[in-house]
Amino acid sequence: MKQLLFFAKMPTAIIFAILVIFASCKKDNNTNPPGNPDPQLTVDAAQNDDVAEQQFNDVFNISMGVQASDAGDDIGLGTGTNIVYRSDNTEKTASPEDRCFTVTVDPKGPNTFPKTVTLDFGSGCTGKDGKMRSGKIITVFSGPMRVAGSIATSTFDNYKVDSFSIAGTQIISNTSSSNKQAWTRKVVDGKITNNNSGRWVQWNAIHEHTQTDGNGTPFNLLDNVYKITGNSNGINSNNNSWTTEITQPLIRKFVCAWREQGQITLTLKSNSITVILDYGDGTCDNKATITINGVTIPVIL
């Protein structure tokens, strides 16, 4: 994720295209859209919602993929090759003092719950995904996350990813049944702050992740593919607020940082304008389209 994409401005051509849409609406209906029809508000909301989802999805991957050798074989689902917080595959054999992160477990005894796992990235630790993490993710596990009914609740202590500070609470519940692997992810009072600009996003969400691929390799997350449904709401430091509803399930691979397919309906609270975000055909990239009043334009998230 590129830092400049957080609260980025739209190209002039795209702004012009949206203004034409609103001008057309005014001509046809002889009325202005309610509230401020500034097209930048729509793209800001879409970008901000996506940035928040990316950051908390990263925490989802870390808490679900915590390695057995780090926290015990009764915690997460990771095996080592898919641990994004490690710098590389060789680090799994390094002694604790040679790592750029530490893991503490309380209580340490096997199969004793609830269990608190603290991942401490110190003043900075670059993972194999190239992201610099610092601070702590503190997760309380009610049971092994491969067992239906188990819950993992994550909070943060001065946790940062590159230039972004992450705060709030994320609750992951294993909602699997006999015929599917599924987890519900709830974000409560989430907040992402860009420490370079001082701008922020506050975000709440509830999403269900149903695993559609990779079920045959439960200890290898790299081949996992999830179908995501649910909704979110957010507000940013410009006092621009919105709600979203997933209208066509989102498809996301564990190894991709982006939503790859599916549609979201986003509604701005300031003017009740509703737009459709389409994430494409399954290609792993940061491209999407926004449709307003039947006119579709590209956007970079």
pTM (2 d.p.): 0.81
**Worst-scoring range by mean pLDDT, 80-94, 122-136, 215-229, 232-246?**
80-94
> How large is the C-alpha radius of gyration of the chain?
20
The H-or-E segment that residue 109 falls in is none
**Cα separation, 252 vs 278, whole angstroms:** 13
Which SS3 state, helix, strand or coil, does residue 51 take? Answer: helix
Residue 73 in this model has a pLDDT that exceeds 70: no
Give the chain's domain count: 1
* Higher-scoring residue by pLDDT: 78, 43: 43
294 falls within a domain: no
Residue 236 in this model has a pLDDT that exceeds 50: yes
9 falls within a domain: no
**According to the model, what pLDDT value does residue 82 have?**
54
**According to the model, what pLDDT value does residue 282 have?**
83
Give residue 28's pLDDT band: very low, low, confident or very high (50, 70, 90).
very low
pLDDT, mean of residues 188-210: 97
Residue 159 in this model has a pLDDT that exceeds 90: yes
**According to the model, what pLDDT value does residue 266 have?**
94
Share of the chain above pLDDT 90, in %: 44
**According to the model, what pLDDT value does residue 146 have?**
85
Q: How far is CA 138 from CA 2, 21, 53, 265, in A?
A: 26, 47, 19, 33
Q: Which domain holds residue 236?
A: 39-255
Which structure tokens are listed for 284?
A: 């792993």
**Cα separation, 183 vs 205, whole angstroms:** 14
292 falls within a domain: no
pLDDT, mean of residues 245-271: 89
115 falls within a domain: yes
Q: How far is CA 94 from CA 21, 82, 89, 97, 98, in A?
A: 58, 16, 10, 8, 6
**Cα separation, 236 vs 254, whole angstroms:** 27
31 falls within a domain: no
126 falls within a domain: yes
pLDDT, mean of residues 42-63: 89
**According to the model, what pLDDT value does residue 226 have?**
86
With 0-12 / 13-18 / 19 or more C-beta atoms within 10 angstroms meaning exposed / middle / buried, residue 59 is buried
177 falls within a domain: yes
Residue 38 in this model has a pLDDT that exceeds 70: no
Give residue 18's pLDDT band: very low, low, confident or very high (50, 70, 90).
very low
Which structure tokens are listed for 260?
A: 């790859």
**Worst-scoring range by mean pLDDT, 37-51, 93-107, 201-215, 280-294?**
93-107
- Which tens digits make up the pLDDT trace of 97-155? 457 888 899 998 788 899 999 999 999 999 888 899 999 999 999 998 889 999 999 99
**According to the model, what pLDDT value does residue 300 have?**
83
112 falls within a domain: yes
Q: Which residue has the tokens 């340490």?
A: 108
Give residue 52's pLDDT band: very low, low, confident or very high (50, 70, 90).
very high
**According to the model, what pLDDT value does residue 211 have?**
87
Q: Which residue has the tokens 């005894």?
A: 109
